[in-house]
Structure 1
Amino acid sequence: MRYMMIMQVQPEAAARSAQELDMEQVVAVMGAYNEELQKAGVFLSAEGLSDASEGFRVDFTSAPPVVTDGPYTEAREIFTGYWILEVASREEAELWATKCPLGPGVALEVRRVQEFSDIDLPEDNDWLQKAQEWRAGQQ
């Protein structure tokens, strides 16, 4: 099963905590965590995201959709990075999530990545077959 761990930062709390952090130490601790995931064979990918001020949001409540540049003053949490893990169970995903070296003002949201078998379509559906081919080509 694939699980995605999405890092969520509460900007005010994280900013207070970050003032006391040594960035070299942060990178070393996170690097060691990523290395542990890789050695365990559960690491598929991980990326950090740029600052929210560089992002944009697409709102589909109207036609055509409306694009709004960041940052978003109403946001209480900002997504700052993610990991995708391949694990045997939810319990294993929980284990790795609780080992993540994050501090005050940061949380992880963990969601199972849907498999093709979760989609209620006949196996001969053209788009489902293409999606399976795309995913196979990425591996």
Structure 2
Amino acid sequence: MAQYMLIMRGTDETNAAMMANVDELMAATRRLLEEMDKAGVYVGAEGLDDPGEGVVVHFSDEAPVVTDGPYGETKELFGGFFLVDVASKQEAIEWAKRVPAVPGSKIEIRRVPGEDEVPQDSGKFVKEEALRESSGQV
């Protein structure tokens, strides 16, 4: 089994279309989450607030600069995600095809590397594991 993130991507136009049908899409999303849970693949899912309410922290050689969101000249916006634990990328694709979406939307699928793929003795892993333990995430 491997975890995959199904990343919801849209545009201003698809976000507007989604909001026009938000009750119907939310009901369909709840049904999908129930199906994922029954199938034993559901790990988590979250949607995000309006991109216009966000901010972006830009990093360069100077001090970080904070600007109002979402991303300046972007054509696509990150709208939320589903996290599933499935046997293969193909199974993740099949779940992504079932996500309620409006025409023009996209789902990007990315595998989440497992702990066994991170060097166990690296400083990053040791610090992250300690942080997870102290916050009760383990």
TM-score range, shorter chain: 0.7 to 0.9
Alignment correspondent of 2:57: 58
Shift of 1:63: 2.2
Looking at structure 2, the residues matched to 113 and 47 of structure 1 have their Cα atoms a distance apart, in angstroms, of 16
Q: Percent identity?
A: 39
Shift of 1:11: 1.2
Q: Per-residue displacement from partner, 1:25-45 (whole Å, max 9, x unpaired)?
A: 222111101111111111111
Shift of 1:20: 5.8
- Unmatched tracts of structure 2, length 5 or more: none
Cα distance 1:131–1:73, how it changes in 2: closer, same or farther (>3 A)? closer
Opposite residue 130 of structure 1, the aligned amino acid is K
Q: Per-residue displacement from partner, 1:38-86 (whole Å, max 9, x unpaired)?
A: 1111111111101111111111123212211114451211111111111
Alignment correspondent of 1:6: 7
Alignment correspondent of 1:90: 89
Alignment correspondent of 2:48: 49
Looking at structure 1, the residues matched to 117 and 58 of structure 2 have their Cα atoms a distance apart, in angstroms, of 26
Classify the secondary structure of the residue corresponding to 1:103: coil
Looking at structure 2, the residues matched to 3 and 67 of structure 1 have their Cα atoms a distance apart, in angstroms, of 30
Matching of residue 128 in structure 1 with residue 120 in structure 2: no
Looking at structure 2, the residues matched to 46 and 19 of structure 1 have their Cα atoms a distance apart, in angstroms, of 18
TM-score normalised by structure 1 residue count: 0.83
Looking at structure 2, the residues matched to 19 and 58 of structure 1 have their Cα atoms a distance apart, in angstroms, of 27
Count of residues in correspondence between the two structures = 135
Looking at structure 1, the residues matched to 30 and 39 of structure 2 have their Cα atoms a distance apart, in angstroms, of 14
Shift of 1:99: 1.4
Opposite residue 131 of structure 1, the aligned amino acid is E
